[in-house]
Amino acid sequence: MSTVEFKNIRKSYGAVEVVKGFDLKVEDGEFVSFLGPSGCGKTTCLRMISGLEENTSGELLIGGELVSAPGKNIYLAPEKRNVGMVFQSYAVWPHMNVFDNIAYPLKIQKIKSHEIQKRVEEIMEVVELSGLGERMPNQLSGGQQQRVALARGLVARPRVLLLDEPLSNLDAKLRDKMRVDIRAIQQKLNITCVYVTHDQLEAFTMSDRILIMDQGIVQQVGDPSEIRENPANDFVREFIRQSH
């Protein structure tokens, strides 16, 4: 079971509250996008799932396991949460070839070399990088580098895959293709995904459900057609209208 559950999650930096308390359960195998303008708190939510940020209050569960609950003095370190993360910047290491970039999480876990070989080859096939293992990052296109980052996030077979604006550095044509490809990979692997974006087209074409945030407050959660047809308030209505 690879669910993600927020229970009255809040996050503050000093006196500034950037996530103002909400409840959400991302179901096993579901693709949920956090959508909203810059600074609304969506990336902070992603970082709390990963463990890179600790929630100030409330409880966070992954796969039914309580991973962060300040009130109970519970905080599971990022490396123990078994989540994969894909960043906006790719974060592909320039001194490592494609194979070694993808294999890195498995080497950290001290997986045996024959198992690393098997897993890396499997995931390279899934993300359509077969045969490119010896190439260096500077020999790859932007789309191929993003696939390396995606493969590295998936190779350790995480419970949840987190994606933070992963397509924003790609040109429009490549973004269109990668949207389709990421969704297809997610469905093929049946992995739970939480995806952060300010791009409405990405959210509405890729997601099972969308969570719309503004100023740290969840404005609406629903499937794409529900949000389009029945915006919850004036903010959502105007936000959606601006994209058309």
- Range picked from 3-12, 165-174, 181-190 for highest mean pLDDT: 3-12
Q: Is the pLDDT assigned to residue 206 strictly greater than 60?
A: yes
Q: Is the pLDDT assigned to residue 244 strictly greater than 60?
A: no
pLDDT band at 172 (very low <50, low <70, confident <90, very high): confident
The residues spanned by each domain of the chain are 1-78+194-244
The rounded percent of the chain whose pLDDT value lies above 90 is 81
Beta strands 31-35 and 65-69: pairing type? unpaired
Separation between Cα atoms, residue 98 and residue 96, nearest integer Å: 7
Separation between Cα atoms, residue 36 and residue 23, nearest integer Å: 17
**Phi, psi of 110, rounded to the nearest 5 degrees:** 60, 40
Among 11, 85, 81, CA closest to 41: 11
Among 105, 85, 101, 84, CA closest to 93: 101
Mean pLDDT computed over 69-74: 96
Q: Both tokens of residue 241?
A: 């209208």
Among 147, 138, 159, 166, CA closest to 34: 166
**Phi, psi of 216, rounded to the nearest 5 degrees:** 80, 5
Q: Both tokens of residue 219?
A: 């404005």
Predicted pLDDT at 197: 94
Q: Name the fold adopted by 1-78+194-244.
A: Rossmann fold (3.40.50)
Predicted pLDDT at 82: 92
Q: Is the pLDDT assigned to residue 201 strictly greater than 60?
A: yes
Note the Cα 148 to chain centre separation in Å: 15
pLDDT band at 243 (very low <50, low <70, confident <90, very high): low
Question: DSSP per residue over the chain, as a string?
Answer: ---EEEEEEEEEETTEEEEE---EEEPTT-EEEEE-STTSSHHHHHHHHHTSS--SEEEEEETTEEEEEGGGTEE--GGGS-EEEE-TT----TTS-HHHHHHHHHHHTT--HHHHHHHHHHHHHHTT-TT-TT--GGGS-HHHHHHHHHHHHHTT--SEEEEESTTTTS-HHHHHHHHHHHHHHHHHHT-EEEEEES-HHHHHHH-SEEEEEETTEEEEEE-HHHHHHS-SSHHHHHHHHTT-
pTM for this prediction: 0.92
